[in-house]
Homo-oligomer: A and B are copies of this chain.
Amino acid sequence: MAFHQTNLAWATLLDIGGPGPAADGGGRAGLRERLTRALRTAIRDGRLAEGASVPPSRALAEQLGCSRWVVTEAYGQLVAEGYLSARTGSATRVSWSPESDPPRPDPRRALATPAIRYDIAPGLPDLRAFPRRRWAEAVRAVTGSAVHYDLGPPDPAGHGQLRATLAAYLRRSRGADLRTASVSVCAGVTDGLFRTCRTLRAEGITELAVEDPGWGRLRDAATSAGLRVHPVPVDDDGLRVDDLARTPARAVVVGAAHQFPTGTVLSPDRRAGLVRWAREVDGYVIEDDYDAEFRYDHRPVAVMQGMDARRVLLLGSVSKTLSPALGLGWLVAPAALAPALRAANPVAAAPPVLDQLALAAFIDRGWYDAHLRAARRRFRTRRDLLLTTLAGTLPAARVTGPAAGLHVLLHLPPGTDLPATVRAATSHGLRLTPLTAYTSHPTSAPTALVLGYGNLPDADVPAAIRLLRDALR
């Protein structure tokens, strides 16, 4: 490649580079940086092909009106990076050949702009009611007060402060038994289950039962950790323990307080039966306590974990009470399992320490209880509004599920074309979730929708249900 061609390329390249973000300030250093970048880009683009010589540093410096230092530094950098090679007594040459590249996609994605006006898919709390001011205040306080070694590598089991706060909260509010069990901090129920399943596998337990219908992410977590999953039917008393006993499973995930999505509360007999089963198979019950804080008729049922802290593990999070974006949850496991949990998850990271400390402060200041009280009032009212609206707008439909949680089951007349209903609703801006989305055998499931009202503003309830009625026609 001839020298004067390269000169032309240079002029162009430097124009393209523009002033740019001079990370090291302007002046010589900035010019050196721009030159380096321009050269690197030209080589990557193929405008400077492998084997091409670059101008002697003195000549290029004259062309560019800069000091020779700028050019020799840029060349040196690119030699260090392997794009150029320099041999004494010979021209510096391009020593790199890119594969051909397609045009670059713009990595800046537009922020999510929901085409959906009313999202009544289940699983969300009221995102508009997130206590922003208090959360920011909690983060600010702990960021100022944390000791400096709290900013070092986090304890994989979680920060001691949050573990203690959670232990007190779970004893007081959920009736957990922490005498022979310990709390660790994780990113949420799914993360906690993933870690648990890896641990079970290391302990020789390869078969896990899950509720059918149930939350699909739990199945994903289990299979992702290498377990085989066995769906077990749920009836009006909750998980059918006799069916469970016929599977090869030695561990089961169960939503005892409020099964998802049926809303069933596991009956006292079944609770006792489940714990007996776990003892008989030398296995574990994994209690998914995902939204038990929301019970509108009486106090939440205490956790099963309290019935046998050696056989029942407890998973919970703030995803349904504060926000899933916080990524903060907990795992209560028998103390005897703690070493195995750590060994099976050697690189599992605890959530960011300042967030852990912020949650501890948020609970310790009473803000979490206050938030839950307000949320219970809000959701109770909204649930009543939803039921009234449904009764008035869709008299043929039937709602099931206790006065609890963030969703109801809406049973529709047999023969209703659910897929068509979901499509019609979506096209009008209403996201719906059929019960079949959570079953292992979609064809055998009742004709029902799972309606989440957590993130549906009260004012939107009538319009959303009218859209649902229209979609059903």
A residues with a Cβ closer than 8 A to B are 20-21, 23-24, 32-33, 36-37, 40, 44, 73, 76-77, 79-83, 85, 95-96, 98-99, 101-105, 107-112, 114, 123-124, 127-128, 130, 132, 135-136, 139-140, 143-144, 147-154, 160-161, 163-164, 167, 172-173, 175, 177-180, 182-183, 187-188, 190-191, 194, 217, 220-221, 224, 265, 268-269, 271-272, 298-299, 301-302, 306-310, 323-328, 335, 345-347, 349-355, 369, 455
A229: shortest Cβ distance to chain B, in Å? 13
Q: Contacts A111-B160, A152-B127, A152-B325 given: A73-B298 contact, CB under 8 Å?
A: yes
Write out the residue numbers on chain B whose beta carbons fall within 8 Å of the beta carbon of A132: 143-144
Contact between chains at A327 and B301 (CB < 8 Å): no
A156: shortest Cβ distance to chain B, in Å? 11
Write out the residue numbers on chain B whose beta carbons fall within 8 Å of the beta carbon of A139: 136, 139-140, 143, 354
Contact between chains at B355 and A352 (CB < 8 Å): yes
Contact between chains at A151 and B325 (CB < 8 Å): yes
Cα–Cα, bound, A402→B124 (Å): 51
Contact between chains at A352 and B326 (CB < 8 Å): yes
Contact between chains at A154 and B324 (CB < 8 Å): yes
Given contacts A110-B160, A325-B353, 14 further A-B contacts (CB under 8 A): A81-B175, A95-B272, A104-B179, A107-B164, A108-B167, A109-B164, A127-B151, A153-B324, A154-B325, A190-B347, A191-B349, A220-B347, A325-B354, A327-B353
Cα–Cα, bound, A207→B23 (Å): 39
A450: shortest Cβ distance to chain B, in Å? 16
Contact between chains at A190 and B349 (CB < 8 Å): yes
The interface centre, meaning the residue of A82, A114, A154 with most chain B CB atoms within 10 A of its CB, is: A82
28 sampled A-B residue pairs with Cβ under 8 A: A24-B299, A81-B302, A82-B269, A82-B307, A85-B268, A95-B272, A96-B272, A101-B179, A102-B179, A102-B180, A104-B179, A105-B179, A107-B167, A111-B161, A112-B160, A127-B151, A132-B144, A136-B143, A139-B143, A152-B324, A153-B324, A190-B349, A191-B347, A220-B347, A221-B346, A224-B346, A325-B353, A327-B352
Closest to A198 in B: B224
Among B96, B190, B326, B347, the residue within 8 A (CB) of A354 is B326
Contact between chains at B188 and A349 (CB < 8 Å): yes
Contact between chains at B325 and A150 (CB < 8 Å): yes
The interface centre, meaning the residue of A136, A147, A271 with most chain B CB atoms within 10 A of its CB, is: A136
The interface centre, meaning the residue of A105, A107, A112 with most chain B CB atoms within 10 A of its CB, is: A107
Contact between chains at A136 and B127 (CB < 8 Å): no
Contact between chains at B346 and A220 (CB < 8 Å): yes
Contact between chains at B163 and A298 (CB < 8 Å): no
Contact between chains at B135 and A180 (CB < 8 Å): no
Closest to A25 in B: B373
Cα–Cα, bound, A355→B359 (Å): 14
Closest to A109 in B: B160
A-B interface, 5 closest residue pairs, ranked by CB to CB distance from nearest: A104-B179, A108-B164, A325-B353, A82-B268, A109-B160
Q: Contacts A109-B163, A144-B136 given: A268-B179 contact, CB under 8 Å?
A: no
Contact between chains at A306 and B40 (CB < 8 Å): yes
Contact between chains at A151 and B352 (CB < 8 Å): no
Cα–Cα, bound, A323→B357 (Å): 15
